[in-house]
């Protein structure tokens, strides 16, 4: 029996709920430790989309009471200067989390820079140490987008053990850590990438599809298995200003049981997990063992 409409995995609503809880949590932490968790945000250059992302992250911090320290650097900033700033922030006791907004200008080696962030302050969860911890089933600071996707999957109430997942995209920041998250949750995982042959055949057998290739409409609705869960990480701005994803939402939602919208799905959860990671880094920093 076809599902006329899939249930929406509402990232916006879930994020709002998380933020409300985090606001309370931060109030308790301030009362106990005399300061709020601090997040340093570094942006290099004038990429308009990156500036919007950074602004949204700062607003989200304010909303839950996290203090944000902004570092807006010119496009011409040298790698050496950036590394010097990171060394300072790594030492700064008021800074619990450090985020370097990507992409960085071409003259800066992003992989090298990300490794220069102290792993216990790496609230984006991109440092090889943190990705490695996830790989060996001892997660510490988890990559925000996959972490947010897992929180969305949890809300379905579906037992993930033994399910077949296909992740479309194998980047360091989404596809690969997403595979590790799903593996940790007992899912059988396939990672598709630009060299994968017959993507359709892979997607057609998936109980869970995570689309993160950055290719608008790559995943066709007719490929989706009846009753699958579809998580669309892709974000594309159309000429009329509207946002869309990697999945053909209208067709896919006729077959899926659950689906994330774009916007309002994965995006709000990514920012929310950044806040959660900052609070977690603060707790580790101050030696707080309790949970809120």
Active-site amino acid positions: 57, 101, 124
- 194 forms part of the interface with ligand NAD (CB under 6 A): yes
- 197 forms part of the interface with ligand NAD (CB under 6 A): no
Query: Using CB under 6 A, which residues numbered 90 to 149 contact ligand NAD?
Result: 145
Pick 50 or 119: Cβ nearer ligand NAD: 50
Q: Which residue has the tokens 């009362």?
A: 31
β-pairing, 236-237 vs 243-244, is antiparallel
Pick 29 or 117: Cβ nearer ligand NAD: 117
Phi, psi of 190 (to 5 degrees): -120, 135
Pick 98 or 213: Cβ nearer ligand NAD: 213
- 11 forms part of the interface with ligand NAD (CB under 6 A): no
Pick 64 or 170: Cβ nearer ligand NAD: 170
9 burial class (0-12, 13-18, 19+ CB within 10 angstroms)?
buried
**Smallest distance from ligand NAD to CB 124, Å:** 10
Q: What would the DSSP string read from start to end of 221-271?
A: GGGSPTT-EEEE---EE-TTS-EE-SB-HHHHTTT-SEE--SSSSHHHHHH
Query: Using CB under 6 A, which residues numbered 230 to 269 contact ligand NAD?
Result: 233-235, 266-267
Q: What does the CA dihedral 211, 212, 217, 222 come to, rounded to 10 degrees?
A: -20
Enumerate binding residues for ligand NAD (CB under 6 A). 145, 168-171, 173-175, 192-194, 196, 199, 212-215, 218, 233-235, 266-267, 270
């Amino acid at each position: 029996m076809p599902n006329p409409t899939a249930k929406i995995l509402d990232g916006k609503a879930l994020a709002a709920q998380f933020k409300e809880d985090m606001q309370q949590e931060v109030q308790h932490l301030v009362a106990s430790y005399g300061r709020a968790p601090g997040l340093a945000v570094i942006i290099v250059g004038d990429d308009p989309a990156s500036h919007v992302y950074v602004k949204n992250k700062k607003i989200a911090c304010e909303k839950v009471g996290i203090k944000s320290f902004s570092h807006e650097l010119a496009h011409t900033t040298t790698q050496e200067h950036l590394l010097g700033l990171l060394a300072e922030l790594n030492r700064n006791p008021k800074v619990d989390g450090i985020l370097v907004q990507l992409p960085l200008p071409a003259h800066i080696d992003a992989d090298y820079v990300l490794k220069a962030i102290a792993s216990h302050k790496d609230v984006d969860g991109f440092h090889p140490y943190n990705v490695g911890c996830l790989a060996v089933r001892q997660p510490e600071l988890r990559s925000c987008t996959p972490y947010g996707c897992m929180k969305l999957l949890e809300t379905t109430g579906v037992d993930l053990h033994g399910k077949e997942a296909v992740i479309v995209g194998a980047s360091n920041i989404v596809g690969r850590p997403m595979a590790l998250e799903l593996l940790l949750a007992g899912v059988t995982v396939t990672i598709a990438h630009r060299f994968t042959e017959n993507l359709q055949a892979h997607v057609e057998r998936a109980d869970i599809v995570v689309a993160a290739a950055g290719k608008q409409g790559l995943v066709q609705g007719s490929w989706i298995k009846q009753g699958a869960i579809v998580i669309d990480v892709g974000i594309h701005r159309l000429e009329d200003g509207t946002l869309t994803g990697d999945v053909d939402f209208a067709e896919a939602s006729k077959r899926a049981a659950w689906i994330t919208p774009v916007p309002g799905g994965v995006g709000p959860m990514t920012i929310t997990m950044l806040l959660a990671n900052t609070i977690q880094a603060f707790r580790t920093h101050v030696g707080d063992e309790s949970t809120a």
